[in-house]
Chain A
Amino acid sequence: NAGVTQTPKFQVLKTGQSMTLQCAQDMNHEYMSWYRQDPGMGLRLIHYSVGAGITDQGEVPNGYNVSRSTTEDFPLRLLSAAPSQTSVYFCASSARGYSNQPQHFGDGTRLSIL
């Protein structure tokens, strides 16, 4: 019973590089979200999805792209990494009825942009 799996756990990039953070869940959850966590800022929503083929922007979407081709996977793409994107990234999923269901978080990806 893996829950929410994020890869990689750590990554160092150079400014301008691109990469994809992977997120997969095995709970058949409809809702998936990406958050970034910075000191003193709490968890800020980047993008979210309410089902396969449906995505929407969160609070801080600039510089990030997402897609949801399957229920299980919700990758986050950084198109051209910038130092301001240095952060810890968490993927979360929840069952239908998003606002009334607990969110299950992955272990996070710690990303540094040099």
Chain B
Amino acid sequence: GQQVMQIPQYQHVQEGEDFTTYCNSSTTLSNIQWYKQRPGGHPVFLIQLVKSGEVKKQKRLTFQFGEAKKNSSLHITATQTTDVGTYFCAGRTNAGGTSYGKLTFGQGTILTVHP
């Protein structure tokens, strides 16, 4: 079945340093979504990428979708303590049949930021 691998599992940074998490799929994705989960909270939708090579920015966050639509990345510039949490990617293939309701999540990257 479809697998979505996310690395690294953990990342510790000093406040002000940059952070990147990577997501790789075993199959071509139709789109990819990114979520953030604060400690003790629930995942919250950040953004969706659909097009090959797409790049989107949200303030200090930059999201990229690979040309082959099999990988994606999230980059945070100049981290702040408010960036602490777990970042998940979630991808879906264009599989036919009735399996159109399944998003596959990566394992997540836990980000800690030291002030």
Residue on A nearest B9 in the bound complex, by CB:
A40
Contact check, B101 vs A104: say whether CB atoms are below 8 A apart. Answer: no
Contact check, B106 vs A42: say whether CB atoms are below 8 A apart. Answer: yes
Cβ of A41 within 8 Å of any chain B Cβ, yes or no, is yes
Contact check, A48 vs B42: say whether CB atoms are below 8 A apart. Answer: no
Contact check, A56 vs B101: say whether CB atoms are below 8 A apart. Answer: yes
Cβ of A114 within 8 Å of any chain B Cβ, yes or no, is no
How many chain B residues sit at the interface, stated as a range, is 20 to 34
Contacts A102-B33, A102-B45 given; does A40 touch B103 at CB 8 Å = no
Contacts A40-B9, A42-B6, A44-B105 given; does A99 touch B44 at CB 8 Å = no
In the assembly, what is the distance between CA of A98 and CA of B33, in Å? 12
Contact check, B48 vs A50: say whether CB atoms are below 8 A apart. Answer: no
In the assembly, what is the distance between CA of A56 and CA of B35, in Å? 24
| A99 / chain B contacts, CB cutoff of 8 Å | 30-31, 92, 100-101, 103
| A43 / chain B contacts, CB cutoff of 8 Å | 43, 88, 90, 105, 108
CB distance from A36 to the nearest CB of B (A): 11
Contacts A99-B31, A100-B31 given; does A58 touch B45 at CB 8 Å = no
